[in-house]
Chains A and B, each alone.
Chain A
């Protein structure tokens, strides 16, 4: 009979990982679908009884999103506008059942190129906290996910939290997703944007695109090009997007060709920027 461990504190969980290799289970929304029609014989470490790992906390300079925080928790928590994009992503992940079970941390650990949570986490400059017995490390989301379904997570580590540095209240954000149907759809392309305004112009832009490379990508050159631009309804038209072709490396698959994905990403970036530019430009 396979092992099924369900500790109620982190120390025990980490201790167990020191003892033997275990598959970590949280929301189950990736674990179970990967095992349809197969024996459920993994040795499991179920983290869901560790209540300290769930919830969103204001911890001074950052927000701490506990590893068991679900997408529904994100939607329901009162957070500043820089989280609106992440909330929008949360509402487009699966259906309500998935949002109620699936965790933010699980989304990055699963490391799908089409993980809807990742672009906005990247745009929020989120970092991931990894713990093993006696050691904690933190690294940016972009460094945590290394490829299609791969991360730096070691065998004896678990993700314990995601940290999001605070921004001014004037910062705003957006998420746009392209799929072939309304609900329960894997993204063809998605974009996440966070803009920090300064005196009616873009003070800081942080932009990421998903499903156009093995891992969602921050678009540094575009961010720089946007800095200082006027916040208005044509913000997205103000910059040259052609260099993106050199940054993104989408694939051809049944959901769309590489060319299409690239074109769609550019169109969605323009739209997202126009929406935010319009919204933020109207502010007093």
Chain B
């Protein structure tokens, strides 16, 4: 095998055979199911007869016309945007602070901040429910101390979803920026300082442009995960504050209107992929202009 790879390149079947098991899995578990779901979204559903295979755009028309769904999609992307913005604003400085720590502190705090990524999302969200629920610790303490008469509402609020989801996803942004800072040449900052730049100026003009790719890719990860998040919005937002993911879940497993659920899922996927493509295109153009090569 090794000898053959060294020889003059000749198209052999070997690499295809090696990737075949993976490709078959992908064809069966990804491509075929996605195609079936796309097809399903054009089917029609009635309470009396269930799913019928006559094709129409009725599901999409319903979603695009109904205020109920407008609210759900606006809430989904509003939430994703808010989570992304907060994550950037707190995660980027935090990565920078970690970068400037001495080795031992840095190792310890990296563990503390990235470690939660290994803990199930349900557990991390439960922390917020315990903390700030109607019967949660904060409300009970405040009521017992007589500081408030009615509990502060956090569960089933938009703010609650954004805070809890930021807690879940922000470590991804720190990780992306941190990985980028690792690759940065520390001499560039030193050079800016020795040439008389103030520290703020050195950070803004020398460090920030270099870590921009990390910040932007971190944003994309956080945004796409937030827009399709299920567990946190389901636990904190509940039935009252539906997002696209929880609405899809309800259509599939409660209302049994699979075609409508499939249409919501397809719209969510298409919007996320469009945003990813546009974002990548914009980032590439931006960086092609500022960094040649």
A and B from one assembly? no
